[in-house]
């Protein structure tokens, strides 16, 4: 397995922070907090770079609000400068990890998404039912309170398999700990939370595909489905009877 040792400098480079700023401001250019940051853009990016370089960077407290759409969810919003840091991390780490993800991990990935997941489900439906001529079954599940329960130590150990740069792990740990619980959980609303969710649940994907040998499996963040022509096999996978 290929590992990466010296990528912190790449993450915190002014070139990458500038690209991250452009991504963070997308669709939000009229927001006051964006305008305020951009009044002294070069200076603010340089200060951010210096804090990251000296490892004195600390994210600001999250702003939390409740969203009902229709499920009630607690969303935590990061400060704009912290969102730049999130984009900077993902700019460099996403290409490293994305190629390790299974094809049918559909959320928060380029070229994937809701529509992709639906099309894959329809394709699997046709295959498992022999074009709707035979009976088949679907097991649908989600991981209860997933974002509140993610274990930081396990996540960092998974990341550590590929990322050997301790400064990168320090930065990820700082972001993870900027939450109500210090050892577990990730805030819904953080770009990094979505990305780390895929890294964490990639372990589940590999288990389902390689240990269970499930042919028809799709995951979208913490929701997943399995299709099979055998109801008993699905029940055995799901721990049912």
DSSP letter at 191 equals H
Enter the pTM of the model. 0.91
pLDDT interval class at 71 (50, 70, 90): confident
Q: What is the mean pLDDT of residues 60-76?
A: 82
Q: 24 and 87 in contact (C-beta within 8 Å)?
A: yes
Instruction: Compute how many other C-beta atoms are within 10 angstroms of the C-beta atom of residue 150.
Output: 23
* Opening angle at CA 96, ends 202 and 4, nearest 5: 115
At 27 the pLDDT is: 95
At 240 the pLDDT is: 56
Separation between Cα atoms, residue 205 and residue 62, nearest integer Å: 31
Separation between Cα atoms, residue 42 and residue 47, nearest integer Å: 9
Q: What is the mean pLDDT of residues 113-128?
A: 96
Q: 206 and 200 in contact (C-beta within 8 Å)?
A: no
């Amino acid at each position: 397995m290929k590992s990466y040792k010296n990528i912190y400098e790449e993450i915190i480079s002014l070139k990458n922070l500038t690209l991250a700023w452009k991504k963070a401001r997308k669709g939000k250019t009229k927001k006051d907090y964006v305008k305020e940051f951009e009044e002294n853009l070069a200076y603010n990016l340089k200060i951010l770079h210096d804090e990251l370089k000296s490892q004195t960077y600390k994210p600001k407290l999250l702003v939390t609000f409740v969203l009902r759409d229709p499920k009630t969810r607690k969303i935590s919003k990061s400060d704009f400068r912290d969102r730049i840091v999130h984009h900077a991390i993902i700019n460099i780490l996403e290409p490293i990890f994305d190629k390790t993800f299974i094809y049918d991990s559909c959320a928060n990935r380029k070229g994937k998404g809701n529509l992709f997941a639906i099309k894959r489900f329809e394709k699997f439906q046709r295959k498992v039912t022999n074009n709707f001529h035979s009976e088949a079954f679907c097991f649908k599940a989600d991981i209860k309170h997933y974002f509140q329960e993610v274990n930081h130590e396990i996540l960092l150990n998974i990341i550590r398999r590929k990322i050997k740069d301790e400064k990168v792990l320090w930065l990820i740990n700082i972001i993870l700990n900027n939450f109500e619980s210090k050892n577990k959980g990730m805030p819904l609303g953080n770009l990094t939370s979505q990305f780390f969710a895929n890294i964490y649940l990639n372990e589940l994907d590999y288990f389902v595909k390689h240990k269970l040998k499930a042919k028809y499996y799709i995951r979208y963040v913490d929701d997943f489905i399995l299709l099979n022509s055998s109801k008993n096999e699905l029940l055995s996978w799901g721990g049912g009877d």
